[in-house]
């Protein structure tokens, strides 16, 4: 599970090639790996690691910069919970989502099953200066996605062509980024794209589910009491699911907006002059990715309102159906 890479002996002829840069990538963190990390980490990393373990395991949304008092240690953190839509039931934590068929038909209304897998990405870069630092990356892949340690091992080619796992393979590990701030932002930019992709899939699927049953809530034509009972139950389930998704997506957006207002300044002003390029472009690129989450949030809020408004329509439909002598099955 554990891979530690050090570029302190990188062969590139660069004036910063003596930097002590370590990359630690973990997929599906377990208790054994936690013990290994604790035993091999320096004391200066202890506070950052405690916070990292807690926020990863608790699925916290957080972005920030911490500078310790006394001995100067910086910590850059990115913790992002999200959901992955899939058909597999293999999970320790699942939220069930079944795609319903047309309730006016005789088919089983839960023929298509989807599962929302709870996932987390946690990236922490901590060190004492621009030349001595360690990057930790914890990701969830238990639901069958690519990106495990074993996957990157299989893809590893020559030293200067290997993929950087913390960036989901979007950065070339053979051409390392030596400065911690730039590396952190480039990794965050890569990982937020993954989160955005999954949120888009979920919003699209929930939209199809709600719109697919839209007409049934307002017409009693060819609908039985049993299927009406299913419609009422399904409407309540989707309303609850929408509430849960809205909460998660709102927390994600707020975490970035809080970071952008305050801690982002740490990446724009450096007391020690370096050859580090301007990071404003990276911050703007990340901001653009997060802004793409807002239409999905608005759509979920619209769907939730529609589902709540349906309750009155379903209630009238129940009066019509049950008033005709039909009753839900026992």
What are the pLDDT digits (tens) for 55-93? 999 999 999 999 988 788 999 999 999 999 876 555 444
Region for 165 from its dihedrals, namely left if φ exceeds 0, alpha if ψ lies in -120 to 50, beta otherwise = alpha
What is the sign of the dihedral through the CA atoms of 226, 230, 235 and 240? positive
Domains in the chain: how many in total?
Answer: 1
Q: pLDDT tens-digit profile of 24-52?
A: 999 999 999 999 999 999 999 999 999 99
Residue 43 Cα distances to 31, 71, 85, 179, angstroms: 20, 11, 39, 22
User: Can you give the pLDDT at residue 76?
Assistant: 98
3-class SS of residue 75: strand
Beta strands (DSSP E) in the chain are 2-6, 20-27, 62-67, 74-86, 94-99, 112-127, 132-139
Does 230 fall in a domain?
A: yes
pLDDT for the residue numbered 174: 76
**Helix H or strand E encompassing 229:** helix 225-261
- Tell me, yes or no, whether 328 lies in a domain: no
Residue 279 lies in a domain: yes
* Residue 69 forms part of a structural domain: yes
pLDDT value, residue 277: 61
Q: What is the pLDDT of residue 107?
A: 41
Flag whether 330 is in a domain.
Answer: no
- At residue 248, the pLDDT reads 96
Weakly modelled stretches of the chain, pLDDT under 70: 1-19, 87-113, 145-161, 215-224, 270-277, 312-330
Domain hosting 26: range is: 2-323
> Virtual CA dihedral for 267, 269, 272, 278, nearest 10 degrees?
60
Is 315 part of any domain?
A: yes
Distance (Å, rounded) from C-alpha 150 to C-alpha 145?
12
The verdict on residue 329 lying in a domain is no
pLDDT in tens, 132-147: 999 999 999 888 766 6
Asked if residue 49 is part of any domain, the answer here is: yes
């Amino acid at each position: 599970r554990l891979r530690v890479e050090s570029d302190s002996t990188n062969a590139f002829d660069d004036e910063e090639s003596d930097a002590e840069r370590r990359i630690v990538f973990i997929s599906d963190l377990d208790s054994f790996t936690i013990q290994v990390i604790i035993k091999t980490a320096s004391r200066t990393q202890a506070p950052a690691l405690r916070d990292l373990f807690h926020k990863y395991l608790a699925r916290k949304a957080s972005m920030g910069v911490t500078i310790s008092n006394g001995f100067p240690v910086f910590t850059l953190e990115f913790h992002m919970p999200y959901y992955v839509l899939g058909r597999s039931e293999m999970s320790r934590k699942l939220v069930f989502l079944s795609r319903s068929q047309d309730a006016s038909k005789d088919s089983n209304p839960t023929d298509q099953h989807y599962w929302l897998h709870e996932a987390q990405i946690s990236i922490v870069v901590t060190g004492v200066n621009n030349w001595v630092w360690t990057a930790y990356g914890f990701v969830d892949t238990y639901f069958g996605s690519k990106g495990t340690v074993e996957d990157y091992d299989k893809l590893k080619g020559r030293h200067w062509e290997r993929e950087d796992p913390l960036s989901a393979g979007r950065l070339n590990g053979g051409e390392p980024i030596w400065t911690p701030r730039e590396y952190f932002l480039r990794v965050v930019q890569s990982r937020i794209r993954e989160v955005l992709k999954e949120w888009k899939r979920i919003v699209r699927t929930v939209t199809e589910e709600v719109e697919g049953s839209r007409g049934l809530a307002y017409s009693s034509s060819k609908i039985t009491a049993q299927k009406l009972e299913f419609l009422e139950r399904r409407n309540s389930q989707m309303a609850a699911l929408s509430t849960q998704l809205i909460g998660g997506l709102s927390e994600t957006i707020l975490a970035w907006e809080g970071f952008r207002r305050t801690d982002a300044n740490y990446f724009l002003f450096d007391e020690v002059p370096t050859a580090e390029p301007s990071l404003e472009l990276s911050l703007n690129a990340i901001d653009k990715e997060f802004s793409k989450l807002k239409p999905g949030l608005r759509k979920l809020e619209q769907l939730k309102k529609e589902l709540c408004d349906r309750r009155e329509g379903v209630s009238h439909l129940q009066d019509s159906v049950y008033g005709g002598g039909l009753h839900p099955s026992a």
